[in-house]
Amino acid sequence: MIHGPKYKIARRLGAPIFEKTQTQKYKLSESKKVVKKGRGGFGGGTNFAIQLKEKQKARFTYGVSEKQFKNYVKKIIDSKITKPHEHLFIALETRLDNAVARAGLGSTRAFARQLVSHGHIQVNGKKVTIPSYHLEKGDVISIREGSKKKPVFNDIGEKSKAKEVPVWMAYDAEKGIWTVQGTPKLEGEVLLFDLDTVIQYYKRG
């Protein structure tokens, strides 16, 4: 999914929402611009503008289309469950492309999405080519046997050992698998956006 100039989008939203804008080089570049222009960051605006910005931050971070993102939120709102922002977090985190990135198989969510789309990833022993595939507790992620020799997966074992996977996933180095062992928890997570504000944005409609 092409979002446009990532640096400009991140700058406009006031948050390093893309992996390429989370490097030390980018942070240094931005800090110099703030000093030069005398800007103190982003703030103010109407409630609608703030909600829209938070929605865009979340959507771009996970690389989800507007239609998909809206469907996630609307389904949660219509269910009238408590703490809808926590359920939105779970829905986004348990996407297969996100889990592949979290496991260290893809350096970015965009690259992880490509790995899934090109048929390199399996769930429970079966090839899955849908990046938005929803994972559940007990699901097992692995690399398709025919893809293991591809350069992109060179030294994946060592890379995965060094990768800190989220607590809801477990990596078995001997078997080369990643197991969903729980449900993602929003509590304690440091996000670049406020999901409760995102929910409020969609409740306006």
Write down the domain spans for the chain: 6-91+190-203, 95-180
Q: Report the pLDDT value the prediction gives residue 59, as an integer from 0 to 100.
A: 95
Which residues have a Cβ under 8 Å from the Cβ of 108 and sit 6 or more positions away?
Answer: 18, 19, 20, 101
Q: Report the pLDDT value the prediction gives residue 16, as an integer from 0 to 100.
A: 62
Q: Report the pLDDT value the prediction gives residue 23, as an integer from 0 to 100.
A: 53
Give the pLDDT mean for 63-91: 96
Comparison of pLDDT for 187 and 35, the residue scoring more: 187
Tell me the CA end-to-end span of the chain in Å, nearest whole number: 26
Identify the band that residue 2 occupies on the pLDDT scale cut at 50, 70 and 90: very low
Q: Report the pLDDT value the prediction gives residue 24, as an integer from 0 to 100.
A: 52
CB 198 within 8 A of CB 88: yes
Cα distance between residue 115 and residue 161, in whole Å: 20
Q: Range with the lowest mean pLDDT among 42-46, 55-59, 137-141?
A: 42-46
Reported pTM: 0.80
Q: Report the pLDDT value the prediction gives residue 60, as an integer from 0 to 100.
A: 93
* Alpha helices (runs of H) in the chain, residue ranges in sequence order: 6-13, 24-37, 47-62, 66-79, 84-93, 96-102, 109-117, 156-162, 195-203
* Alpha helices (runs of H) in 137-193, residue ranges in sequence order: 156-162
For the beta sheet containing 121-123, the strands, ordered from the edge strand earlier in sequence to the opposite edge, are 126-127, 121-123, 140-143, 177-180, 169-172
Task: Give the β-pairing of 121-123 and 126-127.
Answer: antiparallel
Tens-place pLDDT, residues 94-143: 999 999 999 999 889 999 999 999 999 999 999 999 999 999 999 999 99
| Phi, psi (degrees; rounded to nearest 5) at 107 | -70, -25
Give the pLDDT mean for 156-174: 86
Evaluate whether the domain defined by 6-91+190-203 bears CATH number 3.40.50.150: no
Evaluate whether the domain defined by 95-180 bears CATH number 3.10.290.10: yes
Q: Report the pLDDT value the prediction gives residue 17, as an integer from 0 to 100.
A: 59
Q: Is 38's pLDDT higher than 50?
A: no
Tens-place pLDDT, residues 16-37: 656 555 555 444 454 444 434 4
Q: Report the pLDDT value the prediction gives residue 39, as an integer from 0 to 100.
A: 43
Q: Closest Cα to residue 119, out of 96, 94, 102?
A: 96
Q: Report the pLDDT value the prediction gives residue 34, as an integer from 0 to 100.
A: 42
Q: Report the pLDDT value the prediction gives residue 180, as an integer from 0 to 100.
A: 98
Tens-place pLDDT, residues 141-162: 999 999 999 998 988 877 777 7
User: Buried b / exposed e across 146-167, counting CB within 10 Å, b at 16+?
Assistant: ebeeeeebeebeeebeeeeeee
Q: Range with the lowest mean pLDDT among 35-39, 57-61, 95-99, 181-185?
A: 35-39
